[in-house]
Amino acid sequence: MHGQVLKQFRDPDLGRRMAESTRQRLQRLADKLGRRPRFMEFCGTHTAAISRTGVRGVLKTEVDLLSGPGCPVCVSDYSDIDRAIAFSTVPGAIVATFGDMMKVPGSRTTLQEEKARGADVRVVYSSLDALQLARENPDRPVIFLGVGFETTAPTAVMTLEQAVREDIRNFYLYSMHKTTPPPTRALLPDPELQIDGIILPGHVSMILGRKAWDFLPSKLQRPGVVAGFEPVELLAAIDTLADMLLTGNLSVVNQYGRAVREEGNLVAQQAMDKYYSLVDGPWRGLGTVAGSVLKLKQEYAPWDAEACFAVNVPPTQIPKGCICGEIVKGKQSPFDCALFGKGCDPIRPVGPCMVSSEGTCATYYKYERM
């Protein structure tokens, strides 16, 4: 049943008509603004989807689609990546991580290199797999590297809750999880960026709810659309943003109603409130963003890798020439980087934006090179 509906979201004819409507509306908006409209997406999955579906190419002359800080690995600060790698040196430890983290260059090494040197690093699909490793290896600490936004953050503490319930003491979480509204708030007013509207992250909004973004029109005078990931949905989101800017009727529209509700997922929100506190923390490119990083609360210290293992984190060394920090802000594009495709590619990535499948450099390398 659901497949039928999905097919319609990919229907080429509907897509063509939607593209035509969007193009016309964007042209009218350009006339009104006296320049090309600029929209930003704050989700790496959108960055990849906008390129993969060809939407970026189709609307190339009508709109600038900027990619914001939407890739969790890419926005992780060097100090955090270095600490994550350092956990692999804890005696006897098994480090469990999503595949995206393996090749991310820290200041001196990567998890993959540490694994080659004998560290026990395992790629898992889910924090539940990490918990299973802890059950199977009761004498060894299993450290799960938690990286992601609101979509991923609750899954880690759902697993932690299970660990608490079963009294599994050798499961530890290192939380680098981050929330997305604070950087959105920080970036939007930047006059250099001139962002007119925002394509809001579909799966993050599934947790937070549409309502969470109401500050965009009310405080920052910008429209937003919560968008899905299929071609027709992406076009419709851009069309709706242009329409709101033309009429001056700014709001936050939910166009991903099949997954996103007004209030979001309350069970997930409650779990996050119970286990995490929001602290100020560093983002690559953005510096310290107030109240944006989710760390485990004091009472869960026995499961908190940071509280339990003192590791040596080397002083940060940023690879020469990598402009990943500017790219996550939408200020520069991968094409502005001298290393893009010339010394930095997905096989030998220099910066995190080329590592993660949702990093802007990786997406542009795959889809946007002529």
Partner 1 sequence: MCLAAPSRITVIFEGGFLAEVESFGNKRKVGLAMVPEAKVGDYVLVHAGYAMEILDEEAARESLKTWEEILAVTGEAKSCTDKS
The piece of 2-10, 273-281, 301-309, 339-347 that touches partner 1 (CB under 8 A) is 2-10
Smallest gap from Cβ 344 to ligand SF4, in A, equals 3
The single residue among 354, 356, 358, 363 that binds ligand SF4, judged by CB under 6 A, is 354
Determine if 109 is a binding residue for partner 1 (CB under 8 A).
no
Smallest gap from Cβ 95 to partner 1, in A, equals 17
The length of the chain in residues reads 370
The single residue among 58, 134, 324, 328 that binds ligand SF4, judged by CB under 6 A, is 324
The piece of 41-49, 128-136, 221-229, 315-323 that touches ligand SF4 (CB under 6 A) is 315-323
Q: Name the strand (E) or helix (H) holding 275.
A: helix 266-275
Determine if 334 is a binding residue for ligand SF4 (CB under 6 A).
yes
The residues with which 39 forms a beta bridge, in sequence order, are: 65, 197
Q: How far apart are CA 303 and CA 300, in angstroms?
A: 6
Q: How far apart are CA 85 and CA 111, in angstroms?
A: 6
For 305, residues 6+ apart whose C-beta sits below 8 A from its C-beta are: 87, 143, 144, 172, 173, 174
Smallest gap from Cβ 211 to ligand SF4, in A, equals 35
For 218, residues 6+ apart whose C-beta sits below 8 A from its C-beta are: none
- Is 210:152 a contact under the CB 8 Å cutoff? no
Handedness of CA 291, 324, 204, 130 (dihedral sign): negative
Residue 226 has phi, psi (to 5 degrees) of: -80, 120
Question: Residue 116, exposed/middle/buried by CB under 10 A (0-12, 13-18, 19+)?
Answer: exposed
Q: How far apart are CA 150 and CA 294, in angstroms?
A: 9
- Residue 354, contacted partner among partner 1, ligand SF4, none, CB below 5-8 A by kind: ligand SF4
The single residue among 67, 152, 170, 184 that binds partner 1, judged by CB under 8 A, is 152
- Residue 324, contacted partner among ligand SF4, partner 1, none, CB below 5-8 A by kind: ligand SF4
Residues that bind partner 1 (CB under 8 A): 1-2, 5-6, 8-9, 14, 17-18, 21, 24, 43-45, 71-73, 98, 100, 125-129, 147-149, 151-152, 154-155, 158-159, 161-162, 201-204, 206-207, 232-233, 236, 239, 255, 257-261, 265, 267-268, 271, 356, 358
Residues that bind ligand SF4 (CB under 6 A): 321-324, 327, 334, 337, 339-340, 344, 349-351, 353-354, 361
